Amino acid sequence: MSAVAEDRADAPVASGVALWRRPAVLRVVGVLAIMALSVSLRTHAITAKFWIDEGLSVGIAHHPLFDIPGVLRKDGSPPLYYMLLHVWMTVVGGDGESRTHALSVLFATLTIPAGWWAGRRLFGERSAWATAALCATLPFLTYYAQETRMYALVAFLGLCSSAAFTMAYAQRDRRWIPAFSVLTVLTVYAHNWGLFLAIGMGAAFLVLWRTAPAAERAAFFRDGLLGFGLLVLLYLPWIPTLLFQAKHTGAPWSDKPPLNGLISGLQNLVGGVSTALLLTLVAAGGLATLRGGREGRERSRAVVALGVTLGVAVVLAWLASQASPAWATRYFSVFVGPALLLAGAGIVRFGKVGLVALAIVLVLWFNPHERSIRGKSDAYRVARTLQDDGLIAPRDLVVAIHPEYGPAMRYYLGDGYRWADALGPVSDNRVFDWRDALDRLKAATPKRTLDRLAPEVAPGQHLILIQPIIRTGRWGAPWTAEIRHRAPQWERALDHDRRFQRVVQVPEFGRRALPKGVRAVVYLRR
């Protein structure tokens, strides 16, 4: 073979090698590899059974798509996640646990390329990889990637919106102003705590405006009016519903958070005290090394934008929960984006110490948390036992004393039964009506409500009392304290009512550790 022929024969091989050496190709392969590893980590418990909130999610999403915003006047949430879940269930062909959890896995996985891209754009190549690795293993996202709730979606949107805000106003790239407005309003439409993030961005904008060169402030302020004005305009249609929800639903299941709730919430977000301290100290030290020059100034302003946004949003959420309690660690999903962007930017600037710290964090975080995810509720087991043992029949009456557990039990029991809760008969068993629920619960004494329900149960039919398992949780908030008070009253009322005969309790615990969730007490109408 001639030398020319040999060169031609080797050309495709050489071209292929050159292709794989291209930085863009290596980046794509690297990000895809991290995404694949993350999916493997976050699908160990994808078949986990639903707990109380997931039953509500699927129940709401089963309503007609454009009826969902109206249904949510009863619930207190914004509509984006439930409408997406409705479409998703139609596309994947069902509402099974693994199918609906897959939507959350998708959003958790999308944080990885989004974090890589935002980290690279704001802080450079090394920060991009660190942020992507943190997004891929964060325990908070591992947990909520396998739950049929909006928290993985909120984390993804919060990351994208805070990055777009920083590019639009810290880096002064005006092309990102519309993206900031749209992404931020989507975050707010996904969870009400998105409002705190948006207000945090407003505070960060004012800081950036005040520290901008005097000659640029007028144009900077106009850009702010444009971006935040569009955000408000897009959110205006939902404000009447939000005001109605604030007046009539609220979160009576929540306590006022103590002062250390600010710290403990952020600790839980990143997997505990030790990890929080390590990340905070190393990342803060790394961010402090930012120096002058154009690149240094841009990155310093990006740190200010993200830091002020995060700090103001967290403090505002805490203050708002003092006035009207609505505090839960899962709501911290809205803070995941700016927190991980700051952590990824800072930790790689601390040299070898930062790389060691990053490696330690990733090792500690690489845990599927399968047992805790699968142990959220025994509702499926209770429903299966009732049906397999012939303890429930069509037209029997199911009464959920922890009312918002009704949709989860309805999901597992299916159609063919009648439904009520501690407040009385239920017309829509796929959603719980939170409107003035605490006042209605206090007024609905067990004896009075039972007298309303008893005539609906014919002789020979069953009344199945779905009781919460009290000793596995904290029940000190106004709503949960009332449920704790009502549950034994209901059981005593039925035990002493001559119209009913107690048959069995499901399950019988004996010496076993109590599960989380519910138990059922079956009564026969005499």
CA–CA gap between residue 88 and residue 106 (Å, rounded): 11
Confidence of residue 275 (pLDDT cuts 50, 70, 90): confident
DSSP state for residue 399 in the 8-state scheme: E
Q: Answer yes or no: is pLDDT of 325 > 90.
A: no
Average pLDDT of the residues in 73-87: 97
- 56-60, 209-213, 220-224, 260-264: least confident range: 260-264
Q: How high is the pLDDT of residue 23?
A: 84
How far is the C-alpha of 114 from the C-alpha of 110, rounded, in Å? Answer: 6
SS3 annotation, 160-219: HHHHHHHHHHHCCCHHHHHHHHHHHHHHHHHCCCHHHHHHHHHHHHHHHHHHCCHHHHHH
Is residue 144 within 8 A of residue 151, CB to CB? The reply is yes
Give percent of the chain above pLDDT 90: 81
Cis upstream peptide for 394 (omega within 30°): no
pLDDT given for residue 312 in this prediction: 97
Averaged pLDDT score across all residues of the chain: 92
Q: What is the SS3 string spanning 98-151?
A: HHHHHHHHHHHHHHHHHHHHHHHHHHCHHHHHHHHHHHHHCHHHHHHCCCCCCH
Distant-in-sequence, close-in-space partners of 488: CB < 8 Å, separation ≥ 6:
none
Residue 84 in this model has a pLDDT that exceeds 70: yes
pLDDT above 60 for 10: no
Nearest CA to 506 out of 397, 379, 371, 362 is that of: 379
- Residue 331's Cβ-count burial label (10 Å; 0-12, 13-18, 19+) is buried
Average pLDDT over residues 413-430: 95
CA–CA gap between residue 23 and residue 29 (Å, rounded): 10
Q: Would you say 161 and 333 are in contact if contact means Cβ atoms under 8 Å apart?
A: no
pLDDT of residue 335 exceeding 70, the answer is yes
pLDDT tens column, 141-152: 999 999 999 999
Q: What is the mean pLDDT of residues 270-298?
A: 83
Q: Is 270 a residue whose pLDDT tops 90?
A: no
Mean pLDDT of 363-371: 93
Mean pLDDT of 1-16: 47
Query: What is the predicted pLDDT for the residue at 7?
Result: 45
Question: Cβ contacts of residue 343 below 8 Å, gap of 6+?
Answer: 130, 131, 134, 279, 283
Mean pLDDT of 273-298: 83
Q: What is the pLDDT of residues 247-267, one digit of tens each?
A: 999 888 888 888 888 788 877
- Mean pLDDT across the stretch 369-393? 95
Inter-residue contact 397 to 172 (CB < 8 Å): no
- 432: amino acid identity, one letter: F
Q: How confident is the model at residue 20 (pLDDT cuts 50, 70, 90)?
A: low
At residue 99, the pLDDT reads 98
Name the segment(s) of the chain with CATH classification 3.40.50. Answer: 379-525
Architecture of domain 379-525: 3-Layer(aba) Sandwich (3.40)
Between β-strands 424-425 and 518-525, what pairing exists: parallel, antiparallel or unpaired? unpaired
Evaluate if residue 520 carries a pLDDT over 90: yes
pLDDT score at 138: 96
Return d(Cα 75, Cα 68) in angstroms, integer: 10
pLDDT in tens, 169-199: 999 999 999 999 999 999 999 999 999 999 9
Which stretch of 196-205, 258-267, 311-320, 448-457 has the lowest confidence by average pLDDT?
Answer: 258-267
* Residues written for the chain: 526
